[in-house]
Amino acid sequence: MLAGMAELTVTISPMEDSIFTKIIKGEIPSHKVYEDDRTYAFLDIHPVQEGMVLVVPKAQIVQFMDLGDEDYAALWQAVKKVAQRLREVYPNKRRIGVQVEGLDVDHVHVKLFPIDTGEEFRAVADPHAEPDHTALAQLANKLAF
């Protein structure tokens, strides 16, 4: 160290648990639809469309391309299973929309929701709306497998 210079100590702290990690750990309640060793799927409390499910890896990773190969494969296998279940429960919808983002929560998540139109796909949820937990619980029971 140079004379007169103070020693700099840098401490790297682990990433704080995301809201999704807290949901997976059971610290925050959720309306679970599906779970396996590597993934967790639950209803969004502010859906853009009825039936919107979030599928997340249990590993807290910010960007999907940074997932390890096994977690990446498990995520997309879970997405396919949940999408097939949504198609069974919403047979009159034309498609199951899929969005991969991570802007609101720093934890990879795939959004799945039944849609008929592009407008429904591009709809924006109202994050200030009060969730109807009774209706969400009933829907989760219907979708769970």
Does 109 participate in catalysis according to the annotation? yes
Is pTM beyond 0.75 here? yes
Separation in Å, CA 27 to CA 8, 44, 114:
36, 16, 28
Domain residue spans in the chain?
19-143
- Active-site hit among 46, 107, 109, 128: 109
Reported as a single tens digit per residue, the pLDDT across 73-105 is: 999 999 999 999 999 999 999 999 999 977 889
Length of the chain: 145
pLDDT at 101: 78
Domain 19-143: top CATH class: alpha beta
Q: What is the pLDDT of residues 41-71, one digit of tens each?
A: 999 999 999 999 999 999 999 999 999 999 9
CB atoms under 10 Å from CB of 56, counted, come to 23
> How does pLDDT run across 3-52, given as a tens digit for each residue?
555 555 544 446 799 999 999 999 999 999 999 999 999 999 999 999 99
pLDDT computed for residue 5 by the predictor: 56
Query: Smallest Cα–Cα separation from 38: which of 99, 79, 3?
Result: 79
